[in-house]
C-alpha cells in the first residue's frame, strides 16, 4: 500500500541555518504530496503542496519539489527562525475520489536563538 517515510527527529538548528527534512513515498498512480506543520497544542496547518511531478510548492520561505524519479518531496528552508519550531509532517493523497491522507511519522524541528 501507499506509504510515506520521513527522517527521524528531532532536528536541532541554530537560527538562520539551512533546513532540510527528507521525505520519500511509495504510491501507485499519481499522488498529491503535502507538508503540514503542527505547533504545540494545535491541529495541523497546510504548509505547502504539489499535485504533479516537477511541481514546486512554496510558502513562508519553505519549498519542496515533487520528484517522481526519486519518489521524494524534501522540505527546505534557507534560513530558519525560532518561530519555525514545530513538528513537520509529510503526507500523500492517492488518486481517485478520496481525501484520505497518509502521513509520515513527523519530524520535530527545534530552532535555537
Residue in 77, 84, 89, 111 binding other proteins, rule: CB under 8 A: 89
- The percent helix, strand, coil of the chain (3-state, each to 5) is 5, 50, 45
Write the CB contacts of 97 (distance below 8 Å, at least 6 apart in sequence): none
Which residue is it, cell 475520489? 97
Least separation, in Å, of the C-beta of 3 and other proteins?
12
Residue in 7, 11, 13, 102 binding other proteins, rule: CB under 8 A: 102
The C-alpha angle with vertex 21 and arms to 105 and 96, in degrees rounded to 5, equals 60
Is residue 28 near other proteins by the rule CB under 8 A? no
CA distance 96 to 3: 16
Footprint (CB under 8 A) of other proteins, residues 41-60: 42-46, 49, 51
Closer Cβ to other proteins, 50 or 111, answer by number: 50
Residue in 32, 59, 65, 85 binding other proteins, rule: CB under 8 A: 32
Residues at the interface with other proteins (CB under 8 A): 32, 36, 42-46, 49, 51, 89, 91, 96-106
Amino acid at each position: 500500500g501507499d506509504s510515506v517515510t520521513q527522517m527521524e527527529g528531532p532536528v536541532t538548528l541554530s537560527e538562520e541555518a539551512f533546513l532540510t527534512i527528507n521525505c520519500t513515498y511509495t504510491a501507485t498512480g499519481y499522488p498529491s504530496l503535502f507538508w503540514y506543520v503542527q505547533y504545540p497544542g494545535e491541529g495541523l496547518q497546510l504548509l505547502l503542496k504539489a499535485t504533479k511531478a516537477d511541481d514546486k510548492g512554496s510558502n513562508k520561505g519553505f519549498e519542496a519539489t515533487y520528484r517522481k524519479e526519486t519518489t521524494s518531496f524534501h522540505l527546505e528552508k534557507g534560513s530558519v527562525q525560532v518561530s519555525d519550531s514545530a513538528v513537520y509532517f509529510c503526507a500523500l493523497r492517492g488518486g481517485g475520489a478520496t481525501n484520505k491522507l497518509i502521513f509520515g511519522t513527523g519530524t520535530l524541528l527545534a530552532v535555537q536563538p
